[in-house]
A and B are shown apart, each in its own frame.
Chain A
Amino acid sequence: MSPRISPEQVRHVAKLARLSITDAEASQLAEELGVILEHAEDVAALDLSDIEPTAHPIHLTNVLRDDAPKPSLDRDEVLAAAPATEDRRFRVPRIMGETQ
């Protein structure tokens, strides 16, 4: 079976998905995803140019909430769940790369 996705592509996707993977995992995922995508070819091959996509099964509009304050959570409880905190905030390692 010809894999539809290369280990290089897998590594790129893993970067987008923030998953660290080994080379062995990249090869294995390339193969497994290839099989699934091969199966999905039946869908990819359909001519659906005149069909509208459905993003959602129900058709509601304008579900809106009043602009009325509700209680927030207790900060100590929120921070207690975090792996690392400092000075009432969540602590993370340094950030490389640009902000959006």
Chain B
Amino acid sequence: MTGAMTAVETAAAVRSGDRSARSVVEEALAAISEREEELHACNTVLADAAIARADAIDAAVAHGEDPGPLAGVPIALKDNLCVQGELTTCSSKILEGWRPPYTATVVERLLAAGAIPIAKTNLDEFAMGSSTENSAFGPTRNPHDKARVPGGSSGGSAAAVSAGYVPLALGSDTGGSIRQPAAFCGVVGVKPTYGRVSRYGLIAFASSLDQIGPFATTVDDAALLMETIWGPDQMDSTSIPSRPDPIGAGSDVSGLRIGIIEELTDVEGIAPEVRASVERAASGLEGSGAHVERVSIPSCAYGLSAYYLIAPAEASSNLARYDGVRYGLRVDGADVAEMNAKTRAAGFGAEVKRRIMLGTYALSAGYYDAYYGQAQKVRTLIIRDFAQAYERFDVLLSPTAPTEAFKLGAKTADPLAMYMSDVCTIPTNLAGHAAMSVPFGTGVEGLPIGVQVLAPALGESVMFTVARAVEALR
């Protein structure tokens, strides 16, 4: 699939003048042309801007200036990240044609590091979905098998990396939207600790759960991207104010205590070959000197239900602003309320409407305590249970997704079945912790499987160490 260079290699080659950024970008654009028609990973290709930026980097190198640690590395951005003047749609008709007048903090940091945004990638509308089928602009297909979904909601970014368009991409993860598509597409995907990466310029789905994170083909590339985008940001009140320590390059797991989460691994619905991959990764780590044990985190069983109350509740409020007044779609009406209602009915897809309805209901008078309030208490339980587990373990393991990639259309008629594919990733978001998916093994259909490495808040360093060790076992 990708015989291309890693981001680390590309940046080194461009920085030393061995390769021009221009040639890197042209190669990426060629790869996109070749497969984009069948995959539809991108909503917009930023060809002209990317070439102009590549030329500027080549000029900087020629002048002996430092072009940055990601010099010349093409990167794909999930189309819910704002880039000034570029179409930013969230794969929704309601935002079609909208060009933000400002740029997300993470993108500013990428540009400062010399990276070259080359495409805005497809997603489930407003990041609500697990298959990228809920895009107003059509589904993305899995590069490993066109009949299958790439996962979601960051399916376009996962597919772009998997198909070799780019070595790096950014996605956003609210309940697994980076890790699950990474698993389905056979790439590395990271959900950082809540607050580690600025959300300024990320179009909100569920504000207390959303985090931006990297996709890459290797753990090292993911670490490089992570270190570029993270750190405090004054534009985001929920940004952790301390500067993060470097991730480091370690892969030594000897002496580490690793727990396999029973509730996410040994339960009905987890495909046997998925469980087997986790077992093989665990025994490999054991062979490298780690202590591996099963651990029970009982409240994980309630994660899915709590998530599907909290996330829609926040979303119902975050998405109220799409009302046809200031930007985006408008459908006329006799008065402003009718205009709002018609605009929203025409502009939002079925899943977005479903979640807005669910969230509005969960917050409404008479139901708040039973649903939203109760879900917030479950959140407390999950945090408490994880805290207990992390007293005994440095990191935890589980599958990233219950199965390998499923076929397009397989779950579109059954929202709950679709939601179930996030069951392993959701607890991390509720707790605000870090987790990442590392490709490890294949399923009965020969499709990639991801092993999830979970770490406590701010535990990125040990998480990457274990991820590297898993990667080395392949």
Contacts and interface: CB of A to CB of B under 8 A. Distances in A.
B351 to A, nearest CB: 10
Contact of A56 (B101, B208, B325, B333): B208
B339 A43 contact: no
A17 B357 contact: yes
A29 to B, nearest CB: 6
B472 interface: no
Contacts of B241: 60, 63
Contact of A20 (B332, B342, B379, B381): B342
A36 B101 contact: no
A95 B336 CA distance: 5
Interface in A3-59: 5, 9-10, 13-14, 16-21, 29, 32-33, 35-37, 39-40, 42-44, 46, 48, 51-58
Interface in A34-91: 35-37, 39-40, 42-44, 46, 48, 51-58, 60, 63, 65, 73-74, 77-78, 81-84, 90
Interface in B403-453: 415-416, 419, 430-433
B107 to A, nearest CB: 18
Contact of A19 (B301, B333, B357, B375): B357
Interface stretch (B60-68, B115-123, B147-155, B316-324): B316-324
Interface stretch (B6-14, B171-179, B277-285, B302-310): B302-310
Contacts of B330: 83-84
A39 to B, nearest CB: 6
A73 B357 contact: no
Contacts of B432: 56-58
Given A43-B375, A81-B98, A57 B208 contact: yes
B403 to A, nearest CB: 19
A65 B235 CA distance: 9
Given A55-B376, A97-B337, A18 B344 contact: yes
Interface string B327-344: 111101111111111101
Nearest to B356: A17
Interface in B366-392: 370-371, 373-381, 383
B251 interface: no
B224 interface: no
Interface in B81-108: 98-99, 101
A72 B428 CA distance: 37
Contacts of A56: 208, 238, 432
Given A43-B375, A73-B101, A81-B99, A19 B309 contact: no
B337 A96 contact: yes
A36 B419 CA distance: 10
A77 B323 CA distance: 19
A33 B357 contact: yes
B99 to A, nearest CB: 7
Contact of B377 (A18, A48, A90, A96): A48
A46 B195 contact: no
B165 interface: no
Nearest to B239: A63
B2 interface: no
A48 to B, nearest CB: 4
A51 B381 contact: yes
B371 to A, nearest CB: 7
B376 A46 contact: no
Given A33-B361, A44-B371, A57-B383, A82 B308 contact: no
A93 B379 contact: no
Nearest to B316: A17
B167 to A, nearest CB: 30
A20 B334 CA distance: 13
A25 B356 CA distance: 14
B364 interface: yes
Given A17-B357, A18-B320, A43 B337 contact: no
B42 to A, nearest CB: 23
A43 B305 contact: yes
B371 A40 contact: yes
A38 to B, nearest CB: 9
Contacts of B19: none
B353 interface: yes
A93 B457 CA distance: 48
B52 interface: no
B190 interface: no
B303 to A, nearest CB: 10
Nearest to B384: A51
6 contacts: A33-B361, A58-B432, A78-B101, A81-B101, A83-B327, A93-B336
Given A32-B354, A43-B302, 20 more contacts: A10-B357, A17-B320, A17-B344, A17-B357, A19-B344, A20-B345, A33-B357, A36-B415, A40-B308, A44-B371, A51-B377, A57-B431, A57-B457, A58-B194, A58-B195, A58-B432, A60-B195, A84-B330, A94-B336, A96-B335
Interface of B: 98-99, 101, 194-195, 208, 234, 237-238, 240-241, 301-302, 304-306, 308-309, 316, 320, 323-330, 332-342, 344-345, 348, 353-354, 356-358, 360-361, 364, 370-371, 373-381, 383, 415-416, 419, 430-433, 457
